[in-house]
């Protein structure tokens, strides 16, 4: 009986230690080299361009109002300046400042206009969004691009080169499909950042490319409920609308796993199977008030997708420069937070040692 109790205590301790990195949030947005730090969920908010969410847990359910900008997303105090064609890097992290913990599922990027006013007070619950990028697997039978985020890369997205000036929310979303073999098992991680785009371009989406969020997805969409998600050779259908035509979208609706032969720096290029990915890795990419900014409204949209060559992946924290396998590319090697790892390792080592002593003594 004593041994059973010891085992129960051990498993309970592991359970308490593991949730700190089970999910995550958008920790930083970088625009052309200028970084904007986000507020960790539950922390005292400071000035940021990223709307703070209340928890690192995922949004569950395609009709959940929090699908809009994340769990109880709050208005952010600042706005980042950007221009058409700018490179954006989304740095996702797990709890306790660990690497992003998931590796299965696509990443998608949407935008919506805040109108003539600043996005700092813009309620996006009934806003209409357009998609500018999406990426699934990086190659035929290869890993999901999300796996690179788990390994320390931020997800890089390029703003459309003809995007009209104005106030925008940019919504980067990681879709966790590790539980998608069952209806309702998908995990949504949306994050909204406030930007102001300059320039004098005139590009924008057509009316039929606009969707509500929630409203664009269904829990039974092929890209959300996916019994074949662990089959690398299976085709994948992106959820939501196609990438907007002005952002380089392909109206063919093709969305199958395929190769990444197209250059990652060629915005608008088409490569079967992924949307917005190419050479990997690359170091040089070419609210409700004041609460949830979600919406319970619904809108139908196409579940088919298209291809778009604007997403690249790049190591985030740096200490040294290493050569890429292609020799003509390089990437910066990420250094993990040593204190966090040492602390967790110390706790687990001590726990194992103490339990072994007690077990032998019993």
Nearest residue to 286 via CA among 81, 92, 106, 32: 32
pLDDT at residue 140, as a whole number = 83
Nearest residue to 281 via CA among 95, 129, 154: 154
Query: What is the CATH code for 25-336?
Result: 2.70.50.70
Q: Which two tokens stand for residue 359?
A: 């077990």
pLDDT at residue 95, as a whole number = 87
Residue 140 vs residues 175, 177, 224, 271: alpha-carbon distances, Å: 19, 18, 20, 11
pLDDT at residue 24, as a whole number = 97
pLDDT at residue 354, as a whole number = 53
Cα–Cα distance for residue pair 334/220, rounded to 1 Å: 37
Q: What is the DSSP letter of 189?
A: E
Q: Tens place of pLDDT for every residue, the chain, 362 residues?
A: 555 544 444 444 444 444 444 699 999 999 999 999 999 999 999 999 999 999 999 999 999 999 999 999 999 999 999 999 999 999 999 988 899 999 999 999 999 999 999 999 999 999 999 999 999 999 888 999 999 999 999 999 999 999 999 999 999 999 999 999 999 999 999 999 999 999 999 999 999 999 999 999 999 999 999 999 999 999 999 999 999 999 998 543 333 333 322 222 223 333 223 443 333 333 333 333 334 444 333 333 333 333 333 334 444 333 332 333 233 322 223 333 433 434 444 444 454 555 555 455 55
pLDDT at residue 11, as a whole number = 46
Question: Going along the chain, which residue ranges are E strands?
Answer: 24-31, 34-37, 80-82, 87-94, 107-115, 128-135, 155-158, 166-176, 187-197, 211-212, 311-313, 321-323, 330-332
CA triple 158-162-163, angle to 5 deg: 75
Is the model's pTM score more than 0.75?
no
- Per domain, the residue ranges of the chain are 25-336
pLDDT at residue 97, as a whole number = 87
Residue 214 vs residues 106, 122, 176, 190, 240: alpha-carbon distances, Å: 17, 17, 17, 11, 10
Tokens 């998908």 found at:
186
Sign of CA dihedral 60, 61, 62, 66: negative
Radius of gyration of the chain (CA): 21
Tokens 């005292």 found at:
44
């Amino acid at each position: 009986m004593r041994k059973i109790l010891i085992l129960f205590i051990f498993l309970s301790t592991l359970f308490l230690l593991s949730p700190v990195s089970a999910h995550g949030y958008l920790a930083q947005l970088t625009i052309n080299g200028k970084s904007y730090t986000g507020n960790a969920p539950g922390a005292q908010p400071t000035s940021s361009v990223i709307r703070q969410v209340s928890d690192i847990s995922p949004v569950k359910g395609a009709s959940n109002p929090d699908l809009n900008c994340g769990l109880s997303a709050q208005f952010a105090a600042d706005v980042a300046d950007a221009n058409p064609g700018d490179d954006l890097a989304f740095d996702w992290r797990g709890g306790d400042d660990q690497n992003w913990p998931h590796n299965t599922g696509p990443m998608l990027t949407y935008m919506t206009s805040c109108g003539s006013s600043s996005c700092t007070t813009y309620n996006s619950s009934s806003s209409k969004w357009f998609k500018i990028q999406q990426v699934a697997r990086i190659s035929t039978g290869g890993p999901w691009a999300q796996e690179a985020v788990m390994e320390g890369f931020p997800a890089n997205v390029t703003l459309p080169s003809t995007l009209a000036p104005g106030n925008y929310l940019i919504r980067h979303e990681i879709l966790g499909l590790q539980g998608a073999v069952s209806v309702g098992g998908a995990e949504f991680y949306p994050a909204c950042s406030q930007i102001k785009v300059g320039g004098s371009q005139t590009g924008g989406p057509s009316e039929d490319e606009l969707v509500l969020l929630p409203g664009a997805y269904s829990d039974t969409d092929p890209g959300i409920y996916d019994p074949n998600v662990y089959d690398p050779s299976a085709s994948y259908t992106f959820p939501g609308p196609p990438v907007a035509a002005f952002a380089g979208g392909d109206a063919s609706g093709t969305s199958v796993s395929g190769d990444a032969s197209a250059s990652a720096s060629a915005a608008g290029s088409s490569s079967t199977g992924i949307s917005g990915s190419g050479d990997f890795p690359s170091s040089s990419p070419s609210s409700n008030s004041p609460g949830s900014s979600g919406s319970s409204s619904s809108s139908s949209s196409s579940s088919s997708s298209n291809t778009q060559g604007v997403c690249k992946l790049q190591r985030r924290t740096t200490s040294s420069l290493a050569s890429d396998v292609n020799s003509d590319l390089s990437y910066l090697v990420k250094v993990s937070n040593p204190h966090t790892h040492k602390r967790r390792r110390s706790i687990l080592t001590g726990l194992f040692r103490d339990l072994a002593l007690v077990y032998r003594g019993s």
